[in-house]
Amino acid sequence: MRASQKDFENAMNQVKLLKKDPGNEVKLKLYALFKQATEGPCNMPKPGVFDFVNKAKWDAWNALGSLPKETARHNYVDLVSSLSSSLESSSQVEPGADKKSTGYETLMMTLEDGITKIVFNRPTKKNAINTKMYDEIMRALKAASKDDSSLTVLTGNGDYYSSGNDLTNFTDIPPGGVEEKAKNSAILLREFVDCFIDFPKPLIAAVNGPAVGISVTLLGLFDAVFASDRATFHTPFSHLGQTPEGCSSYTFPKIMGPAKATEMLVFGKKLTAREACTNGLVTEVFPDSTFQKEVWTRLKAFAKLPPNAMRISKEVMRNSEKEKLHAVNAEECSVLQGRWLSDECLNAVSNFLSRKARL
Ligand SMILES: CCCCC/C=C/C(=O)SCCNC(=O)CCNC(=O)[C@H](O)C(C)(C)COP(=O)(O)OP(=O)(O)OC[C@H]1O[C@@H](n2cnc3c(N)ncnc32)[C@H](O)[C@@H]1OP(=O)(O)O
């Protein structure tokens, strides 16, 4: 049975009442079907390459070709009806996830048993790091460096450790245009990575699931990396028209040798947790079923060690490198500033945002 104009109007109202965000992919489908149902085939000029959001919308509408208005109206009503039932009943997110807690919007932070735990907390976005989260991680690290804990642990809520830089960061273009955006991003990135270089206490990653991009490169600046056997390590910089950051252009060749570092940083090879352990990036791998229990037993034992001895040992091991690391960080950020303006990068981000590509 075909959807009537009344069904269509009801569906439009239902969309506004959805309690959960259906996600960008579905929103683009809804937009495209709505435009096709009301205006027919796409009749707008194609937006420019920098106009990510409007280009994604245009792509979605244009992809419907000459689909008749009635069919688009019917498909729109069907889609809204399937969303109303599935979204109201599904609960994929852990309690407390994506909610404000302890003064942070994108993180959870606790201090217990001498351990400060910082949890990436955007599970529905695979813990992608948006601008707010960069700021909050810096704030959390600064607080952890001064609190009573002996060590600090970073981990992720949900099935991912982190999917790296939130690619929608690129859509928030300031009045000065993309050049200003690239400049601001380079400043932010440099300050962010500096916080890891300068962190004074033992810094440990509990990599609970896949890690992408900057969440992988930073691991070279951690003092220990424990991984679930479900974790993977992926730095698809060339695929994104980008270049390494997080000091990985220096730490990765040093940790794993230039050949293995090139496989990861230049050719984007995704490593399993065991491969990352063999390459020296990961300290130890645990079965996913016992990961939390085994890692936290280990961490609690570490936290009982004399904190000053641990801090000073870290200082002795790392201090001779600090100047070099800051210089590498500055250089990587400066190179990236240029890459972010390249067609290679802009097209890759645009493809992700219009759902054409998956890494
Ligand atoms: C300013 C400092 C810059 C620092 C430079 C840093 C560089 C990097 O970190 S480069 C690496 C960037 N990351 C990526 O390229 C990963 C992109 N994401 C993906 O390829 C996939 O999302 C996935 C493989 C991580 C997971 O795929 P899948 O299991 O199919 O899940 P979805 O794609 O449906 O993801 C769910 C939801 O989360 C959103 N999302 C995931 N990752 C990102 C991300 N990095 N940026 C923005 N959004 C992300 C995804 O769009 C989905 O959202 P909805 O559609 O709204 O549900």
Mutate to test the pocket of ligand 1, among 129, 163, 172 (most ligand atoms within 8 A of CB): 163
Tens-digit pLDDT profile for residues 263-298: 999 999 999 999 999 999 999 999 999 999 999 999
CB contact at 8 A, 269 and 263: yes
Q: How confident is the model at residue 36 (pLDDT cuts 50, 70, 90)?
A: very high
Q: Under CATH, to which class is 5-86 assigned?
A: mainly alpha
Q: Phi/psi at 23 (nearest 5 deg)?
A: 95, 155
Q: Which of 82-96, 179-193, 249-263, 337-351 has the lowest mean pLDDT?
A: 82-96
Domains 5-86 and 107-243+272-358 share a fold: no
For the segment 333-349, the average pLDDT, to the nearest whole number, is 96
Q: Which homologous superfamily does the CATH classification assign to the domain defined by 107-243+272-358?
A: 2-enoyl-CoA Hydratase; Chain A, domain 1 (3.90.226.10)
How far, in Å, CA of 180 to CA of 198, rounded?
27
Q: How confident is the model at residue 49 (pLDDT cuts 50, 70, 90)?
A: confident
Q: What's the 246 CA to ligand 1 centre distance in angstroms?
A: 18
How far, in Å, CA of 288 to CA of 57, rounded?
39
The pair of structure tokens assigned to 303 is 């936290």
The 3 state secondary structure assigned to the chain is: CCCCHHHHHHHHHHHHHCCCCCCHHHHHHHHHHHHHHHHCCCCCCCCCCCCHHHHHHHHHHHCCCCCCHHHHHHHHHHHHHHHHHHHHHCCCCCCCCCCCECCECCEEEEEECCEEEEEECCHHHCCCECHHHHHHHHHHHHHHHHCCCCEEEEEECCCCCECCECHHHHHCCCCCHHHHHHHHHHHHHHHHHHHHHCCCCCEEEEECCCEECHHHHHHHHCCEEEEECCCEEECCCCCCCCCCCCCHHHHHHHHHCHHHHHHHHCCCCCEEHHHHHHCCCCCEEECHHHHHHHHHHHHHHHHCCCHHHHHHHHHHHHHHHHHHHHHHHHHHHHHHHHHCCCHHHHHHHHHHHCCCCCC
Mutate to test the pocket of ligand 1, among 125, 157, 214 (most ligand atoms within 8 A of CB): 125
- Give the type of residue at 186: A
Q: How confident is the model at residue 47 (pLDDT cuts 50, 70, 90)?
A: confident
Indicate if the pLDDT at residue 60 is higher than 70.
Answer: yes
| Token pair 């409007």: residue | 54
For the segment 78-106, the average pLDDT, to the nearest whole number, is 60
Q: What's the 130 CA to ligand 1 centre distance in angstroms?
A: 11
- pLDDT, residue 85, reads 62
For the segment 155-165, the average pLDDT, to the nearest whole number, is 98
Which residues 6+ apart lie within 8 Å of 119 measured at CB?
A: 107, 108, 109, 154, 155, 156, 157
Ligand 1 pocket residue status of 24, Cβ below 6 Å: yes
Tens-digit pLDDT profile for residues 185-240: 999 999 999 999 999 999 999 999 999 999 999 999 999 999 999 999 999 999 99
- pLDDT, residue 357, reads 60
Ligand 1 pocket residue status of 349, Cβ below 6 Å: no
CA distances to 14, 35, 42, 79, 289 from 74, rounded to whole Å, are: 15, 13, 18, 9, 45
The pair of structure tokens assigned to 352 is 């992700």
Q: Which of 29-43, 63-77, 302-316 has the highest mean pLDDT?
A: 302-316
- pLDDT, residue 93, reads 40
- pLDDT, residue 90, reads 30
- pLDDT, residue 358, reads 63
Closest CA to 355 of 14, 19, 31: 31
Ligand 1 pocket residue status of 214, Cβ below 6 Å: yes
Q: Phi/psi at 129 (nearest 5 deg)?
A: -95, 105
Domain ranges of the chain: 5-86, 107-243+272-358
The protein residue with its alpha carbon nearest to ligand 1, atom 8, reads: 213
